[in-house]
């Protein structure tokens, strides 16, 4: 028996501006706020967002305030977590939506492992995201 259920619960992102990042994820990826936790002061609050699958099916994003450690430029193959990939039902529609939101794409469309397509882009603070369609996996 596996100790995991097969889906991620959440990914946490430490942000310079929590509210700006929450608004970006609401606007660009159409995520919904499900909870605000922590102190009432906005600069100390953690915000949890989720997609249309809801808490039973979807992965959450936790946006929390960053500390004062300077952020350095990184590339996708540095040690540690690299990016967050979002499954999409309609790649072309998702791509058109991201283009309409003027996201910064990080390269072009490439073939996904096992078939399908993916493209990488940056969120409002430069964190790498992807949309991916899966065919035959």
User: For the residues of 58-126, what is the DSSP string, one character each?
Assistant: PPEEEEEE--SSPP----TTSSS---EEEE-S-HHHHHHHHHHTT-EE-S--EEPTTSSEEEEEE-TTS
Looking at residues 106-131, what average pLDDT do you find?
Answer: 94
Q: How far apart are CA 40 and CA 131, in angstroms?
A: 33
**Domains along the chain?**
10-65 (3.10.180.10), 84-132 (3.30.720.110)
pTM, to two decimals: 0.84
21-32: per-residue pLDDT in tens? 999 999 999 999
55-97: per-residue pLDDT in tens? 666 788 899 999 888 888 777 777 778 889 998 989 999 999 9
The pLDDT score that the predictor gives to residue 5 is: 64
The answer, yes or no, to whether residue 33 has pLDDT greater than 60, is yes
The pLDDT score that the predictor gives to residue 117 is: 96
Beta carbons of 95 and 54 less than 8 angstroms apart: no
The answer, yes or no, to whether residue 119 has pLDDT greater than 70, is yes
The pLDDT score that the predictor gives to residue 127 is: 93
The answer, yes or no, to whether residue 40 has pLDDT greater than 90, is no
* CA distances for 39 relative to 8, 16, 46, 48, angstroms: 26, 17, 9, 14
Looking at residues 50-59, what average pLDDT do you find?
Answer: 72
């Amino acid at each position: 028996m596996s100790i995991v259920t097969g889906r991620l619960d959440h990914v946490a992102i430490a942000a310079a501006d929590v509210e700006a990042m929450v608004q970006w994820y609401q606007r660009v990826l159409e995520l919904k706020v499900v909870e605000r936790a922590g102190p009432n002061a906005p600069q100390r609050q953690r915000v949890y967002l989720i997609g249309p699958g809801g808490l039973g099916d979807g992965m959450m994003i936790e946006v929390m305030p960053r500390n004062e450690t300077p952020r350095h430029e990184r590339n996708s193959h540095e040690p540690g977590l690299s990016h967050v990939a979002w499954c999409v039902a309609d790649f072309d529609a998702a791509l058109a939506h991201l283009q309409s939101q003027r996201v910064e794409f990080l390269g072009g469309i490439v073939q996904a492992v096992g078939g399908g397509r993916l493209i990488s882009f940056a969120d409002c603070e430069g964190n790498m995201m992807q949309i991916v369609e899966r065919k035959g996996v």
